[in-house]
Amino acid sequence: MRITLLLLLSLFTFGTCTQNPLFLNETYTTGFVNIQKSSDIFYWHFESRSNPATDPIVFWLSGGPGCSSELALFLENGPFIVNDNQTLSSNPYSWNEKANVVFVDQPVGTGFSKASTEELSTNEDQVAQNFYNFLLGFLNQNQQYIGRPLFITGESYAGHFIPAIGYELIKKNNPHINLQGLAIGNGLVNPKVQYPAYGQYAYENKLISSLEYYAFIKPVLKTCSYLIGRNASLTKISNTCNLAYQTIVGFGEVPKFNVYDIRKKCEGSLCYNMTNLDNFLARDDVKSILGVSGRTWQECSNEVHKALSRDYFVSYADKVADILENGIKVLVYSGDQDFICNYLGGLEWVNEMEWTKQEEFKNAKFEEYIINGKSAGQIKSAGILQFFRVYQAGHQVPMDQPEVALEMINKFISN
């Protein structure tokens, strides 16, 4: 599609980078891209702290589905940390150290984005098409990035989003979109393979007893995996899989442990106290500066989540394989203290993925990943695929091991 036609997909003028003392004089742009009649996608773009005119562009997608990327922006790999007094501190390990980074509230209806009920995405084909249209609109508003090396990154349920979007971008083959790589952090990619790892991980980390594992949880998860593979009804799959899952984490409203970091207690709706961020993004002055006055930010949207309920147990490993076969490199990284998308399941779905170098990857040996003279994890690779187990990190690797995460992404985007 010619870049001049991008105007049809956006009603907004070119983004103009700005600075503001409230945001510690980082150079940024915010904006919306219209997707359908009643839906749009909000983004917050930060220029690289190094060489914005030449550094690559990295898009970040949070999971959920329906969780805002501002969660990552302020708690993980963005330029800011919210203090108790509602001021901001600078994050020295922000991913815009050597990249232009865009935090995207997608699918439509997530975070500051909006969507009518009938325009919510119900499958990954819609998610991918909407993101492609978003990308066209973003490039129309920020034309300096046309043809720039581009990477799609994210975590958790973005293990569904990223393969679908990457595959869509390859199909579209737009010369203005220079896709170079995908990075999936603690992602849900292949539930059929990953669900049985709940039992194994819980047993190995002493979250359950030997009797619980062998007598009940392991066989139930085997049935869960079988039902997913047979494409059984959503109700049947959910009831079976959730029975084993809840036996591990507990049947109460609050899990017995933080499912995103087994070293911690679960506190708050997402097992973390996000009061500072909630209050900050509810401020009228903040919303005015961001251009989102009149909108209400939420951590995660139940409506977006429910609309994608039939997508949950679908595997997107085949899409990752297709992406690799098309020469686009993939990094899969996983914090080893995470239960919800644990590294055992992550490694297993990568091992099971059928592609040209499957056997080479399965037989590859792990090597220690050394930073400042210390081992930060283990990594193995075959061709353009890497799997990185990050030591002492939970679901949000950039939050728990920020220095490691920054070096990891900088190496990945710089070849």
Active-site annotation, residues: 156, 338, 395
Tokens 């309920």 sit on residue: 309
- Structure tokens that stand for 180 in this block: 């170079």
Tokens read off for 136 = 């066209």
Q: Two tokens at 256?
A: 């017995």
Residue 121: both structure tokens together: 């995405």
The separation between CA 337 and the C-alpha centre of its own chain, rounded to angstroms, equals: 17
Find the helix or strand (DSSP H, E) in which 329 lies.
strand 329-335
Q: Which of 409, 375, 362 is nearest to 60 (CA)?
A: 409
Supply the Cα-derived Rg of the chain in whole angstroms: 21
- Nearest residue to 284 (alpha-carbon basis) of 275, 273, 295: 295
d(CA 148, CA 413): 12
Helix (H) or strand (E) holding 139: helix 124-141
Q: How far apart are CA 345 and CA 343, in angstroms?
A: 5
User: Closest by alpha carbon to 385, among 364, 368, 370, 371?
Assistant: 364
CA distances from 286 to 25, 29, 277, 280, 295 (A): 14, 14, 11, 7, 12
List C-alpha distances in Å: 404 to 284, 376, 390, 395. 35, 7, 8, 14
Q: What distance in Å separates the CA atoms of residue 114 and residue 34, rounded to the nearest whole number?
A: 10
- Nearest to residue 66, comparing CAs of 25, 108, 24? 108
Whole-angstrom CA distances from 59 to 112, 130, 150, 165, 299 are 17, 15, 8, 11, 19
Residue 406 CA to residue 183 CA, distance in Å, equals: 13
Nearest CA-CA partner of 306 in 160, 126, 156, 120: 120
Would you give the distance in Å from CA 159 to the centre of its chain? 7
